[in-house]
Structure 1
């Protein structure tokens, strides 16, 4: 090359890439936006897991948490000594009704009839048992007797007497332990707790 482009001496022109300030500005802006979204997302997660801010107004709190209702009075359940239980065996095992009746008697229940189950129920109860009684017994005697045999089905019929039938099913193994039955009876006596906010 010649002319004004001729290189002479020991110095050479510095050849570097031109600066792209636009790329730097865009990278910085993208970093700021990304950090902003990350911070906002973190605040949202903290808000979700801590239950919201303390700045919620009383009106908003009432809308979320209903005012407490007066607790319902505890149900008055009959004592086992006031419940007459007829025990029927619907299984092929002989003597099961007598054994069950003796155990219920030890636990304080009055025992009525002890026999094999009527034909409509004989060998037709797949679970541990069936509690059968008048509609008025559904919220009184049946739940108390049900604490002795977990998983027993309940059914009402047209009788007008207060006695309850316990028809032992083929799935019967044993009654609940006295401790478990007492705990279940205590749970029946307690009214449902009011919702807490």
Structure 2
């Protein structure tokens, strides 16, 4: 070419648009971020479905430990036997003979019998339910629950000032008879059987 279009020197003019380096950098960073998020999500899914990514030996050990805790240990309740409980039987009703009859039946069931007779003035003709089981504070979770298996619905009371281990069965107006021996035996068995400890955590 010549004239006014003559090219001089050893450099030639660029015939293409300059690259937009800023846009390329932004696109590269965005792509890397998308790939990173996708990879992290994939790892999370794998972790969920594979049980946390632990090695088999570790997972087996964890399952074994959880299985051991899933079977709750038992703690036997320390309650006295009927033969270790002395019961005083008192009649607070106007019906005669109830105290002796009830005492005789309790004796057949293995309880020791103490005093038998009419209730004191504090309770005489004042017990409207089936009866009152009265004992020292120490009997609340020992002797009284055992005696309660023999008279369903009886009220339990304690006297903090009372000494000794004897308990009273005070017959009330609602009394008809003691709980049947079969039912009383079942209630006593349920009362003395081992109590389970709290169950293992669900997320184990």
Q: Deviation at 1:69?
A: 9.3
Aligned to 1:122: 124
SS of the residue 1:136 aligns to: helix
Aligned to 1:169: 172
TM-score (norm 1): 0.63
Deviations 1:69-106, CA, capped at 9 Å, x for gaps? 95452111111111100000000001110111111111
CA distance in 2, matches of 1:79, 1:192: 17
Aligned to 1:8: none
SS of the residue 1:100 aligns to: helix
SS of the residue 2:152 aligns to: coil
* Matched-pair contact (CA < 8 Å) for 2:77–2:195: no
Aligned-residue Cα RMSD (Å) equals: 2.3
CA distance in 2, matches of 1:114, 1:69: 47
CA distance in 1, matches of 2:176, 2:164: 29
Task: Pick the aligned partner of 1:106 from 105, 108, 119.
Answer: 108
Unaligned runs of 5+ in 1: 1-54, 59-66
CA distance in 2, matches of 1:174, 1:163: 22
Moved over 2 A (4+): 67-72, 190-197
CA distance in 2, matches of 1:134, 1:140: 10
SS of the residue 2:75 aligns to: coil
CA distance in 2, matches of 1:183, 1:72: 19
TM-score (norm 2): 0.61
Q: What count of residue pairs does the alignment treat as equivalent?
A: 135
Aligned to 2:185: 182
Aligned to 2:85: 83
Larger Rg: 2
Q: Deviation at 1:134?
A: 0.5
* Matched-pair contact (CA < 8 Å) for 2:129–2:175: yes
* Matched-pair contact (CA < 8 Å) for 1:71–1:191: no
CA distance in 2, matches of 1:195, 1:180: 29
Task: Pick the aligned partner of 2:134 from 132, 135, 145.
Answer: 132
